Structure 1
Amino acid sequence: MAIQPIRLFGDPVLRTRAAEVVDFDVELRKLVADLTDTLRDEAGAGLAAPQLGVGLRVFVYHCDGFEGHLVNPTFDVVGEDMQDGPEGCLSIPGMRWDCTRHLHVIANGWNMHGDPVQVEGTELLARCIQHETDHLDGVLFVDRLDPETRKRAMAEIRSAPWFAQADPVDRPVIKASPHPLFGKAR
C-alpha cells in the first residue's frame, strides 16, 4: 500500500470514462488500499481511481463519519430536493466553488471482494458519492457550475501555480455529465 500522486486538472485521464471492473483480485485490493492511503494523506472526502491515473470504476470515501469504497458504483436519486454548497476536488487543489447536487442518493456497487454494497447517509455523503461517480464518467465538478461561476473558476484554475504542472493536452475541456439533471446550469 502506498500514497500515490494525484493527477491534476488538465490530465486527459480525468476526462476519460473509466472501465468497469471485471476482476475482483489482489490488484483491485491494492488499488483500493492505495486510494485509501492517498485519501487519508490528503485529508480529502473522496478519491476516484482516475485521479491516480487508473481508468477503473472505483472510488473511496471518508466523509461525515462514513468510510468505505465502491466498485462499479451507480446511484439512484431519492426525491427531487437539491442542495447547494461549497465543493472542492483533490485534482483542483486549494479551490472551492458552490455546486448544486441532489440532496439524497442511494449508491449501489460492490466491495473489493465482489460482494454487493449499498450506501446512503448524510447530505454530505450524497454530495461525495455524486462527485466521485462523476469522476468515473470523466466529469469534473467545475463542469456542473453555473456558466458565470464556471467562467470565474476556469480563470482561477488557469492562474493557479499547479496548473502549469498539469498536462496541457486537451485543456480546458467542459464535459456534460451523463447523469440526469447534471451538467445543467441552474
Structure 2
Amino acid sequence: MAIRQVRTIGDDILRKECKPVKEITPRIAELIEDMFETMYEANGVGLAAPQVGVLKQIVVMDVDDGNQYVLINPEIIEQSGSQTGQEGCLSVPGKAGMVTRPNHVVVRAYDENMEQFELEGEELLARCICHECAHLHGQLYVDLVEGELMDTTAEPEEE
C-alpha cells in the first residue's frame, strides 16, 4: 500500500469524466487499498479515484460509523429531503463552504469483488455519497457553494 498524491483544484483531471470499471485487476485492488490509506492519512471521510489522478469510477468512504465503503461504478438511484451544511474536500485544501445536498440517498454500485449492492445513506453518509459521486463526473463541491468559501486554516484568535 502507498499514500498517493491528492490532486488539488486547478488540476485538469478533477474536471474530467471517469470511465467505468470493467473488472477488478491487481492494479485496481491496489488502487482501492492506496485510496483508503491516502484518505486516512489526510483525515478525510471520502476519496474518489480522480483525486489521486486515476480516471476510474471508484469511491472509498469511511464516515466514522465503523464501516468502510467501496463504490465502483456508483449510480444514485434515489434521493429525498434536503440538508445544508459545511463541506470541505481534500482537493480544495484549507477551504470549506455551505452546500445543500439530499438528506437521504440510495446508491447502486459494485463492491471490490464486483458484486452489485445498494447502499442507503442519511445525513453525513448521504452528503459523502453525493460529494464523492460528483467527483466521478468532474464536479467539485465549490460549484455548489452558497455564498463564499471560508478559510479553514486561519489560526483561532486569542482571547
TM-score normalised by structure 1 residue count: 0.77
Q: Displacement of 1:78 after TM fit?
A: 3.4
Write the deviation string for residues 13-39 of structure 1: whole angstroms up to 9, x where unpaired: 000011111122111111100101101
Name the residue aligned to 1:13: 13
CA distance, structure 2, for counterparts of residue 59 and residue 137 of structure 1: 12
8 Å CA contact 1:48–1:58 kept in 2: the answer is yes
Matched, 1:35 2:45: no
**Distance in 1 (alpha carbons) for counterparts of 2:7 and 2:103:** 28
In 2, distance between residues paired with 1:118 and 1:94?
Answer: 33
RMSD over equivalenced CA pairs, Å = 1.6
State whether residues 105 and 122 of structure 2, in contact with CA within 8 Å, keep that contact through their aligned partners in structure 1: no
Superposition misfits of 4+ residues, deviation over 6 angstroms:
none
Q: Secondary structure of 1:75's match?
A: strand
Q: Which runs of 5+ in 1 are unaligned?
A: 161-186
SS at match of 1:78: strand
- Which residue number corresponds to residue 156 of structure 2? none
Helix, strand or coil at the partner of 1:31: helix
| 1:23-66 deviation line (CA, Å, top 9, x unaligned) | 22111111100101101111101000000000000010011403
Matched residue type, 1:68: Y
Partner of 1:178: none
Would you say how many aligned residue pairs link Structure 1 and Structure 2? 151
Task: Give the superposition deviation at 1:77.
Answer: 2.8
Kindly, what percent of the aligned residue pairs are identical? 37
Q: Which amino acid aligns with 1:132?
A: E
Give the strand-richer structure, 1 or 2.
Answer: 2
* Unpaired runs of at least 5, structure 2: 154-159
Q: Distance in 2 between matches of 1:109 and 1:97?
A: 28
TM-score by length of 2: 0.89
1:74 aligns with 2:75: yes
Structure with more helix by fraction: 1
